[in-house]
Structure 1
Amino acid sequence: MAWIPMIPEEEAEGELKEWYDKLRDPWGGVDDIMRIHSISLPTMKGHFELYRSAMTGSPDLSRKEREMIAIVVSSINQCHY
């Protein structure tokens, strides 16, 4: 459970609702790692752009290689994201 208050998806309005819709995963929800930014939309946008850049920015690594690196780093950090 997050220590920072989050706006639940069903209570989101306006631009936040649009971002929740954009970030919704195939399982039907928005990950807490993104919802934690719900009280500050600029930080949500920044986090998304950082992730997008890390996963698609440079042509030196394939998407598969980036995903493998992310899995190893998450495992080392004991992080389920």
Structure 2
Amino acid sequence: MDMELVSKKKVWVNLGDMFIKMPKENVETMIKKDQSTLDEEISDIRETMKQKVVELEQLEGGDGSKSRAFQLKAMTK
């Protein structure tokens, strides 16, 4: 990390179509919250997609054997 950024108390952040100077701690909190929300949404979409793949295979007349690979769970992150 840039040493100059570490020593700053306020940083510029782009919110929509404006740049605002805010306390660094507030910006870090906002970014972490946004990242957490995005991670949850991505996880939900992945689960929905797995279900839709199974449904699609069934609609195509399959027995579900092809879509089993999409239902695997990771052993570790």
Shorter-chain-normalised TM-score: which range?
A: 0.3 to 0.5
Higher-Rg member (1/2): 2
Structure with greater strand share of residues: 2
